[in-house]
Structure formats: structure tokens, C-alpha cells
Structure 1
Amino acid sequence: MSKHRPSSRQFPSPRQTSLFILGLLTVLLAACGADSRQAVSAGYGANPDLPAPVSTLVPTVNIATAKGWPEGRTPRAAPSLKVSAFASGLDHPRWLLVLPNGDVLVAETNAPKRPDDSTGIRGWVMEKVMGKAGAGTPSADRISLLRDTDGDGVAETKSALLTGLHSPFGMALVGDKLFVADTDAVLSFPYKAGDTTIDRATGKVVTPLPAGSINHHWTKNLIANAEGTKLYVTVGSNSNVAENGIDAEKERAAILEVDIASGVYRVFASGLRNPNGLAWQPESGALWTAVNERDEIGNDLVPDYMTSVVDGGFYGWPYSYYGNHVDERVKPQKPELVAKARAPDYALGAHTASLGLAASTGKSGVGSAFGSGMFIGQHGSWNRKPRSGYRVLFVPFTNGKPSGTPTDVLDGFIDSDDKALGRPVGVALDTHGALLVADDVGNTIWRVTSAP
């Protein structure tokens, strides 16, 4: 009787199997997405072209795999500008705050654990897709302080100002208090000019924020009013279009107004799917925000946007987009809300992931061409063909309103091999008027100034 010899075949490990499945799903998903039928530029401006929604079995997936910057490479600056690294070797830098003494704070952060946002095959695929795009690293949960001691445009020192946070994002300084927006609370810490470390134990909770085990859009940003009495805090939706139920969206897809003294807050504006950037427009004094709109109804819908925000304003989500364009996927509808939905002021292109927002102060650091307007950091699409975003834009303003077409400030974040060298996020102007850009894939803060 013959004997069976042991097989020499090596079976794939669980990790290899997962990678194979991810690769196969990515290919299948990408194959289902057709190219855009219009130019990206059609989705910009005060009156963007809004085509009919496109229904597909699965969403378009077009990932720019995160790669990082080779030695000596930088983004490409506009002809009148130059760019250099202010700080490098960071850990997923996302958001910036420039202090009055010139120190720069950077939130090194990423998503918290969200067990109920990655359930099922769709959630699992999205988790892997985001990891491939550079968003899968553990959160450093840290705010670092960068100091340019000799004024040469390069930070000579870096110190861990605050550690042990919980996916921190937005920051604001009001008097001798530093406010930090963790993913689940607004915190305050004592601060005096020149501090390089703050004891986490000195922090106090100003107010809890909507979070929980879904916490789909986890980033929370904040800005203070001129009087230093209120904070305005962004809270993104818990879903794409309320597929987790409207009860999961309580006080989300909104900007909250927090009374600093008491911690009491109210909904200031709602129907904003995922607001991130916040800025006060210098001429009008109005609050502006940059918003990520909904997905999965085509390459060209819905444009992300920036808009002025009015007290009590409703901006459509989830029932409608760009004013009263009804999203038929949302059931039941609310016609009474759709009727009063405000159209945004300025579209920033579909799926561009417009996150950062900074108002020009008219300082000379980037030249007179950028004297009045908004800088926008576009993190870039993962679900559009061809890709959109992956750049920093400037939109000129006149009399407090957008008044022209956008200008590229930085691009070149996608390499010739179709991989992402970097992805811009937060933008801020330093005390010299230069533009700082947080790049979370390149782990760098870029500094943009006028070219000689």
C-alpha cells in the first residue's frame, strides 16, 4: 500500500490572505467606477455644475497609495512663491495653531478606535482603503510645539507640549488658557507665553462632545470669538447620509457654540455634513467653514464647499445638498427642512476633501496677490476618477465674499508613479505672514513664502 507523503505546499498566512482579499476587492471596486463626465473645475465657484446623481452598486475607489517624500523633494509652489520644510519627521501632523510669540503648535493625531464604524464587509473594506491612503497609523495623541529660534523659517526645536490626549485636533488660545478639541471633549489647560510643556493633569473638561463607538467623522475643530467668551466647535456626521439612523446624528453635522465660562453649548448651525476648517473673515467678521460633502452618487457629486455660517442656519444634510437638491437615498424626507436649506457660498470641487481653512490677513509673507481671500488645504479624493484635490488653493475675496477663480498655491503631491507623496490638511499663517501647511502623509509642515 502506498503511503501519502506530507505536502510541501505552504499555505498563506492570515495576513497574506487579508492582503489578497483587500487587493482583490480594491480591483473589483475600482473596476466598477467609471471616469468623471466633467472637469473638476466644473464643481468650483459660486454656481457649480451639478449633474444628475449616478447610482452604482459599489462606490468608485481610486486610491493614491501613501508613499511619502523622497529626500530633497518638495511640493510644487505657484510661480510667485517658494516652499520649504518648516519641520519634518513628525507623526501624522493634521492641524496647526500659531501662537502670538511665533511658536507653532501641531496636532499629531489620527482616528480613535471606532468599533461600530468598521462592522460588516463595507466597513472592513473602508478601513483597509483608508489605511492604504495613509490614515491607518495609530494616533500619537500629542500636541507638539515647534520653535524657530533664529527666524530663518525652520523650526530648530520640537517639544511635546501635551501628551496623553484622545485624538486631538482643533486648538485655540484665549488669554492664559489653551483650548484643545479632543474627539470626545473640549479641554482647557493653563498656558503662559514660552511654555514648552504642559502637564496633562492640569487639564479641565469644558464640555463633552458627541463621540461614541461609531464616531464616524472624528475630527473636532474649534475657534474662539474676538471677545474670548465663546468657542465654535465642529462636529461631523456619524455616517455618509444618515444610514445609521437619524438618532445617531444628535448634535452632529453641526457647529456648536460653547460658552467658555459655563461649558454650556447649543447648536449654532446644522446640516453641515463634516465641517472642519474654521476662520473669521476679516472684512465682514463672519464665521466661515470648510465642509466635506456626501459620497456615492457619482464622481461629480457633491462638491465640497466653504461657506459663511449664520446663527440658526440649516445647510441641508442629510436630506438635501447644495441648497434644496434632494438626496433620494434619505428616507423619510423632511420637505420642511429642505425648503429652508441654505446654499453654500462657494464650491470647492467634488471629493476634494477640503479640510484646512485660513483667512488671509494681508501680510506680505506670501505677496500682495494673496492679500484678501481664503487658503484651503485639500486632502484629496480616494473615490473619484480622475482624482481631485491633493493641493492647497487660494480663493480671492472682495468685500467679504469670494470674487474669482481659485489659484493653486501648492500641488505636486501625487508622484509620476501615481502614489501620494503627501496630503495637505491644516493651513495657518505664521507671525511673518508665511503660509504653513500640515502634510499628514509627508509628516512635514511646509512653509510657503514669496519667491525672491
Structure 2
Amino acid sequence: MRKHILIVLGLILLVIAGGVTYLAWPDTAELSVDQVAGKLPKITDPRIQTIPTVKVAKVVGWQNGTMPTPAAGLKVQSFATGLDHPRWMYRLPNGDVLVAETNSPPREGGGITGWVMKVLMGRAGAGVPSANRITLLRDANGDGVAETKSVFMTGLNSPFGMTLLDGQLYIGNTDALVRVPYTEGATKITAKPELVIKLNPGGNHWARNVITAADGKTLYVGVGSSSNIAENGMDAEKYRANILQVWPKDKNWRIYAAGLRNPNGMAINPKSGGLWTVANERDMLGSDLAPDYMTQVEFGDNFGWPWYYWGGYPDSRVEPKNPALQQYAKRPDYALGPHVAALGLTFSADAKLGAKFANGAFVGEHGSWNRKPVSGYKVVYVPFGDTGFPAANAKPVDVLGGFLNKDGDAQGRPVGVITDKTGGLLVADDVGNVIWRVSAGR
């Protein structure tokens, strides 16, 4: 009799536990995005998720002539259409724009992480093969529309970042930094890429950005982590969650900064010459944690991943522990909000969008999957002060929205942001397959 009573009690407790789990899932945000943004974001207690909150906007594309919505005093038009997952851009010295039409390489792995990624990629319109192509866009008459769209380079492996240095075009493939000779005004490159350094591929963060350092001699390469919180072990994260500094002449490199889960967008602050990046933080700590961020990066910095977030808050899920790192984990300069998926970054140095957008940085927010309600799905502007850092009480300012329709579906998702030769802001929309151009006026 006693045995039967214990079994019944056990079943009741199991049902209660299941009900509590159901009621708590999916986790719903208790704070606004703005409350978790700025120099002093609100950092709440984590709400660790065993079953992740999966809420990603279904991609429907731009229909019936719809377009994004610019901020007051700005206007938007399509710079180029008919592209295949345009994610990143680079402006050449003559004003031509290179666009990486690219996507994730084939993914492997099962378990809950593999399931989540398959769900996300399918719903977000990303589950298609990569075009592995760089396309050249040319607006010769300066009317804000590229009248020339031509294939510039093929035969790449999920290419992303691009930069020029000493007559060579450097390209960040998912598994290597490569280069080809470049002549100004060229419209096509057929040369076989030369290997500069190998990069560890695979996992969740495949995109490799590359920019030229302020010294004009070295390059910075961003290599995101393979996982959320190193759940596959640190051996799988070797030379990842890093920004690397590369000496291309000698093909040497070193770890410049560490503990950055996904340092995708990188840019040089035109006033200070310092390196800045935006980074995607970890998932499954609840809809209010942890904030993605924008920060200056100096040699030797460690921002704490996977053990710590936002300058020393411990992630109890990570094993083995690393208590010695806590006091050295650098706090980022500016939070952008939870799960916004900050990917694009460019400073406003040569933008001509009016005084309101003259001293700061533009950030492309691809949009969340692990938050309810969703966050991101827009381009924002972060005002800077005279110190060369974000202004003390500044919150992100919407520059380009309307990527979600009234039903919450994604008409597009912004990634890379750069300025064009006339001071407009170009935005790569990787599922709308458009490059948008934002300019002053109505």
C-alpha cells in the first residue's frame, strides 16, 4: 500500500513539475529592450532555460512595393535588388560597392542545438545553399541606384568580410583568410585566391569579418564561437570567440582579444583610430539576458565568454569554472539590448544624414530568436559624445525599421551597414535580398 502511495505521489509531483515548466515556457521578457541598453543596462537574475524560447519572425519578403520605414527626416530607396542573401558590403576607393552574397555552409550536429538551428534557419529563410559569390554594384551617375550589377568573384567558401591593403583584396572565407590582387576599377577577378591564414570552421558562427587596422599594416579578423557557452568543450573553441591580428606580409597572426562570443561587425573609430566591435552574447538565460553590445577593443582584452557576461556576471552553466578570470573580464562600453543580434557596424564619419546622425555609430540588428517578444530587426544609431565613446545617457535611436509587418512576419532582416560615396547609408537585407539606401530628406 505504501509503495502505491509513493508512486502516486511521484506521478503527481511529475505532473506539477511539468505544468510549472509549461507555464514558464516560453520565457517572456519582463523588461523593455531600452532598459537593457545603454552604458548602464539593467542586469536581472538569469532565468536559465532547458527548453529554449524559440520565437523568430517568419520570413515573407517585401510584397506589393513595401519598403522599410526610415526615421523622421530621412528617406529610403532600394540601391540594388535581386540579390541572393546579401550579408556584407565593402566600398572600394572608386565608390563601387562589393557585396558578399553568402550563407552558412552545411551544418552538422544533432541534439537540441542542432534541432534549434534547423528550426531557426528554416523559419528565418536562411536554410538555403550559399551563393559563395561577391557581386559588384556601381552607381556611376550618383542617383542612389546601382545601374550596374555584375559578378565580381566566385569560387569562395561562405565569404563575408572584405578589405583592401597594399593592392590586395582580402576576403574572410569561413575557413580561411585569403587574398587576390586588385586593380582600381576592376569589375571582375578570376585569380585563384592565395591562402593567408587558416581559420577554424564549423559550428554556429560561420561568418568571418576582416578589416584593415589603423596602422595600415595589419588586419583584424573576427572569429565567432562554435557554440553558445562552449557546451562541446573548449577544444572545439580553439582560436575562436576571438579577434585575431594578422600580419599579412609574413602570414603571421596572434590573438588580439578574447572572450567575444561573436564579434561580427568591426570598425575603426575615425576620431581615435581605436578598434570597435559589436558582439552577440549568449542565449537561454531568459528574454532579458544577456545584452548584445558595442565596445572598444584593445590588445589583451578578455570579455569573459563563456564564463562571464557583462564584465563579470558568472554563467553557472559553464564547466569547468574559471574563477581567476572574473576580475579581469572587461565590461563592454555600451549595451544594445538582449538578443537583438547586432551584426553590422559603421561609424558616421562620412555619412550625410543630418546633424542628429553626425557623431556616432550605426548598427545593423538582424533580430532575435530567443526572446519573447522579439527584439532587433532594425538599424539603430548610437550617439557618441566628445570623449569618443557613447554619450552617457544615450539610448539607441531607430534609423530604419518596418522590417516586421503588422503580423510580426519578417519582410527583411538587416545585416551589414556602410556609407556610400555620397554619404548615404547602405543596408544589406539578407532575406529581403535587397540593398537599401537611407539618405537625408523626405
Q: Please give the range of the TM-score, normalised by the shorter of the 2 chains.
A: over 0.9
- Are residues 1:247 and 2:235 paired? yes
Offset at residue 200 of structure 1 (A): 4.2
Partner of 2:188: 197
* Aligned amino acid, residue 39 of structure 1: S
Report matched runs for 1:36-435 at 5 Å: 36-115=29-108, 118-201=109-192, 203-211=193-201, 214-363=202-351, 365-398=352-385, 399-403=387-391, 404-435=394-425
The code of the aligned residue for 2:106 comes to K
Letter in 2 for 1:306: M
**What does the per-residue CA deviation read over 1:97-126, in whole Å, with 9 as the maximum and x for residues that have no partner?**
0111110000000001232xx323541342
Indicate conservation of the 8 Å contact 1:30/1:62, yes or no: no
> SS of 1:448's equivalent?
strand
Task: Quote the Cα distance in structure 2 between the aligned partners of 1:227 and 1:402.
Answer: 24
Q: Distance in 2 between matches of 1:433 and 1:46?
A: 28
Partner AA of 1:177 in structure 2: Q
User: What is the aligned length?
Assistant: 419
Question: Does the 8 A contact of 1:172 with 1:178 survive in 2?
Answer: yes
Equivalent residue, structure 2, for 1:3: none
| SS at 2:137 equivalent | strand
Separation of aligned partners in 2, 1:122 and 1:405:
33
Of 28, 32, 36, 2:25 maps to: 32
Any stretches of 5+ residues in structure 2 without a counterpart?
1-20
Between the aligned partners of 1:137 and 1:106, the Cα distance in structure 2 is 18
Residue identity opposite 2:296 in structure 1: S
CA deviation digits over 1:287-342, x for unaligned, max 9?
Answer: 00000000001000000000000100110000100011000001111111111000
CA distance in structure 1 between the partners assigned to 2:92 and 2:145 by the alignment: 16
Q: Do the aligned partners of 1:366 and 1:450 also contact (CA within 8 Å) in 2? A: yes
- Using the TM superposition, give the Cα deviation of residue 128 of structure 1 relative to its aligned residue in structure 2, in angstroms: 2.6
What's the counterpart of residue 24 of structure 1? none
Contact 2:214 2:273 in 1 (8 A): no
Contact between 1:231 and 1:258, CA under 8 Å: does it hold in 2? yes
- 1:56 shift after superposition: 2.8
Q: Tell me the distance in 2 between the aligned counterparts of 1:394 and 1:125.
A: 31
Aligned AA (1:222): V
Following superposition, the deviation at residue 184 of structure 1 comes to 0.5
> Where in structure 1 do 4 or more consecutive aligned residues deviate above 6 Å?
28-31
| Corresponding residue for residue 17 of structure 1 | none
Shift in alpha-carbon separation, 1:121–1:317, aligned structure 2, 3 A: closer
Q: Match of 2:124, SS?
A: helix
Structure 1: runs of 5 or more not aligned = 1-27
AA aligned opposite 1:450: A
Give the direction of change, closer, same or farther, for the CA distance of 1:72–1:402 in structure 2 (3 Å limit): same
CA distance in 1, matches of 2:178, 2:431: 27
Contact 1:362–1:368 (Cα < 8 Å) also in 2: no
Q: What SS is found at the alignment partner of 2:125?
A: helix
- Show CA shifts across 1:191-217 (max 9, x none): 11111110142x211111111xx4321
Aligned to 1:16: none
Structure 1 residues 84 and 30, CA, compared in 2 at 3 Å: closer, same or farther? Answer: farther
Q: Is the 8 A contact 1:55 1:298 kept in 2?
A: yes
Q: Which amino acid aligns with 1:335?
A: P
Aligned residue identity for 2:439: T
Matched-pair contact (CA < 8 Å) for 1:361–1:433: no
Q: CA deviation at 1:29?
A: 9.2
The alpha carbon displacement at 1:366 in A equals 1.1
* 1:202-254 deviation per Cα after TM superposition (whole angstroms, max 9, x unaligned): x211111111xx43211100111234310100000111001010111111000
**Residues 326/178 of structure 1: CA separation in 2 closer, same or farther (3 Å cut):** same
Identity over aligned pairs, percent: 53
Deviation at 1:175, TM superposition (A): 3.2
Shift of the 29–59 alpha-carbon distance from structure 1 to 2, 3 Å rule, reads farther
Aligned equivalents of 1:141, 1:29: Cα separation in 2: 42
Q: How far apart are the structure 1 equivalents of 2:116 and 2:312?
A: 32
Deviation at 1:406, TM superposition (A): 1.6
2:34–2:395 Cα contact (<8 Å) kept = no
Amino acid at match of 2:260: L
* Alpha carbons 1:164, 1:200 under 8 Å: kept: no
Separation in 1 of the partners of 2:177 and 2:319?
A: 33
Pairwise CA RMSD: 1.5
* Bigger mean CA deviation after superposition, 63-72 or 298-307: 63-72
Distance 2:23 2:72 in 1: 35
Task: Say if 1:30 and 1:60, in contact at 8 Å, map to a contact too.
Answer: no
CA-CA distance at 1:355 after TM superposition = 0.3
**How big is the shift at 1:283?**
1.6
